[in-house]
Structure 1
Amino acid sequence: MRILVTGSSGWLGQTLVPRLRNAGSEVVGLDLLPAPTTQIVGSVADRELVRSTIRDFQVNAVIHSGALHKPNIETHETSSFVSANVQGTLNLLEESVSPGSKVDRFVFTSTTSLMISSEIRAARSRNVTEALWIDEDMTPLLPRNIYGVTKYAAEHLCRLFHQIHGLPVLILRTARFFPEEDDMAHEISQSGPNTKANELLFRRLSVEDASESHVVAISKAPEIGFDTFIISARTPFHRGDCKQLITDAPAVVERYFPHYGELYKRVGWTMFERIDRVYDSGKASRVLGFECRYRFKEMLDELAAKTGGR
C-alpha cells in the first residue's frame, strides 16, 4: 500500500511514518517543514501540489494528520486555520475521489478538543457536582476556538465525501499526546511529567499509541466504511465514579491502584484533587479493535522499576 501522510514532520508524523514503513507500506510524507520523514515540502492548502502528489505517487490511502493546532492560535490568523484545516482537508478529499485516483481509504486525525465548549471549560472553576463522561454520542458539539471549529468542519467534510462518493473514512479524535507543557500549566501545581502521568487516567495517550491507532484505522477503513472514534488511553474509571472524581479524585484512583500513592511519594508527585472530565475510548476497542497499550498502570510499572520496585 502506498500511503500519503500529511503532517509527516510533526510529533505524530515522525513516529507514524517509520511505523508504517516497518509494516511494509510505502509512505509519502507531505509537510510544510522538511524532515527525514518528509518527501514533499508544501501545504495541503495548495490544491495543485495535493493533486500532483496523489497522482504522481499513485497513492492508495491518505492519512491526514497535518493541521494548524491549538498553540498556533497565538501566532496565526483565523484565515490560516480555515486554509490549512478546512481547505486543506477538502483538497485531499476531492483529489482522493477525482477520476483516475487510486485512493480507496482515508483517515483523518481530529481532536477531542472540539468536544469541549467554552461552557464545559468554564465549569472546571464552578461548583459542578460530577465529572463529565465524554464519548462519541455527546451532543451538541460547540468547539470553543478556531482550532476546534475548523477540525469539526473538516470532520463534516469527511462525512459528506463518504456519503456522496462512498470513500471509506475514519475519524480519530485523539486525546493529548503532545510533549509540550499543558496550556493551563499556570493553574496546575504538578510538574509536567506528573501532569502527563495523571492525565493517562482520563485524557492522554502516548505518541506511539496515537501512531498505532492510525495504522489500525487505515487497515480497517474499507471494512468499517465511516465512523468516528475517541482515541485515548482506556480509563480505569466508570460512570459511577464521576461524582467522587469531582470531590476526591485521589480516593478514586487509590481504589483502582492501591499502591500508586507510595510510588508517587517516592518521586514527589501528587494526584489532581479533582478530575472534571473522562474520555471513554471503549468504542475504539469494540468497533475499531484498537486499545492503547500504554496506560496509567504501565506508567506505574515503569515508575516502580525506576524507584526500586513496588
Structure 2
Amino acid sequence: MRILVTGSSGWLGQTLVPRLRRDGHQVVGLDPVPSVLTEIVGSIADRATVRAAVRDFGIEAIVHSGALHKPDIETHERTDFVSVNVQGTLNLLEEAVAFGSSVSRFVMTSTTSLMISKTVRAGRDGGARQAAWITEETTPLLPRNIYGVTKYAAEHMVRLFHELHGLPVVILRTSRFFPEEDDMAHVISQSAENTKANELLFRRATVEDMAEAHVVALAKAPELGFDNFIISPRPPFTPADCAELIVDAPAVVRRHFPQYEAIYARRGWTMFQSIDRVYDPAKAFQRLGFACRTGFAEKLAELDRQDIP
C-alpha cells in the first residue's frame, strides 16, 4: 500500500516507517521536522500540505501519529494544540474522503492519557480506595489537560467520518512509550530506568510494540470498520488486586513476581509504593489480535540475564 505516516520524524515514526517499509509498503512521511524518514516537511494544520500529500502520492492508507503531546504543553499555546491535534486531524479526514481519493483505511494514534481524570491521577493522595481498572468502557472521560482534550476531540472526529462516509477507522489509545522521564512526584527520586521498568506493570510499552500495533491495525481496519483499543502490555494483576495496589503495590508485585525484589536489590531499585491505575488491553487481544511482546515479566528476565557473570 501507499501509506501516509504523519509524525514520521518522531519517536514512533522512527520505528514505524522502517517497519512498514520492510513489509514492502510505499511510505510517505509527513512531519514539520526534517529527517531521512520524512518526504514532506510541513504541518498537518496546513490543509494545502495535506491535500498535496494525499493526492500527489496516491495515498491508500493514513497512519495519523503526528500530534502535539503532553511534554509540548510547556512550550506551546493551547491554540497550537487545537490547530494540530483537532484541525490537523480534520484536514486529514477531509482529504481522505474527498472525491477521487484512494484512501481505504485510517489509523489514529491516540492516548490513554485522555482516560485519566484529575481524580484518578491523584490516586491514594486524593483519597482513592483502590487503583482504577481502565478499559475501553471506562466512563466518564474527563481529560485533565489540553493534550487529552484535543486528542479526545480528534477521536470523535474520526468516529464521525466513519459514520458519515464509511471510512474504516481504528483508534489506538497507546499507553506511555515516549522516552521522556516520568513526571509523577512520588517517583522523582528513582532513576529513569527504574521508573520505566516499574511502569511496564500497568502503563508503559516499548516503541517497538506500539509500531507493531499500528501494523496490525492497518491490516484489520477494513474488517473492523470502526473501533478503539487500549494498547499496553497485559498486566499481571486482576481487578481483585486494585484495593491493595493503591496502598501496598510492592506486596502485590511480590505475589506475582517473587524474584523481583532480589533483581531490583542488586541495582538499588525500588517499586512504587502505590499504583493508581491499570490499563487492561484485553479487547485489543480479542478483537484486534494484538498483544505486546514486552511487559514486566520480560523486563525482569532481561535484567536477570544481565546479572549472570
Quickly name the TM-score band, shorter chain normalised. Answer: over 0.9
Match of 1:127 in 2: 127
Match of 1:171 in 2: 171
> How far apart, CA to CA, are the structure 2 residues paired with 1:291 and 1:252?
23
Match of 1:257 in 2: 257
> How far apart, CA to CA, are the structure 1 residues paired with 2:76 and 2:276?
30
**Do residues 109 (structure 1) and 147 (structure 2) align?**
no
Match of 2:224 in 1: 224
Matches within 5 A, 1:32-51: 32-51=32-51
> How far apart, CA to CA, are the structure 2 residues paired with 1:71 and 1:272?
22
Match of 1:191 in 2: 191
> How far apart, CA to CA, are the structure 2 residues paired with 1:18 and 1:139?
36
Aligned to 2:125, the other structure's residue is in SS state coil
User: After superposition, what is the alpha-carbon deviation per residue over 1:5-57, rounded to whole angstroms, capped at 9, x for unaligned?
Assistant: 00000000000000000011110000000011110000001101101110010
**Do residues 237 (structure 1) and 237 (structure 2) align?**
yes
User: How far 1:124 sits from its partner (Å)?
Assistant: 3.9
Aligned to 1:157, the other structure's residue is in SS state helix
Matches within 5 A, 1:1-310: 1-184=1-184, 187-308=187-308
User: Which segments of 5 or more consecutive residues in structure 1 lack a partner in the other structure?
Assistant: none
User: How far 1:119 sits from its partner (Å)?
Assistant: 2.3
User: How far 1:251 sits from its partner (Å)?
Assistant: 1.2
Aligned to 1:267, the other structure's residue is in SS state coil
> How far apart, CA to CA, are the structure 2 residues paired with 1:85 and 1:50?
14
> How far apart, CA to CA, are the structure 2 residues paired with 1:126 and 1:45?
38
Aligned to 1:293, the other structure's residue is in SS state coil
User: How far 1:258 sits from its partner (Å)?
Assistant: 1.1
Aligned to 2:230, the other structure's residue is in SS state strand
Equivalent residues, number: 309
> How far apart, CA to CA, are the structure 2 residues paired with 1:64 and 1:129?
37
Runs of 4+ in 1 over 6 A off after TM superposition: none
Aligned to 1:262, the other structure's residue is in SS state helix
Give the TM-score normalised by structure 2.
0.98
Identity percentage of aligned residues: 68
User: How far 1:127 sits from its partner (Å)?
Assistant: 2.8
Give the TM-score normalised by structure 1.
0.98
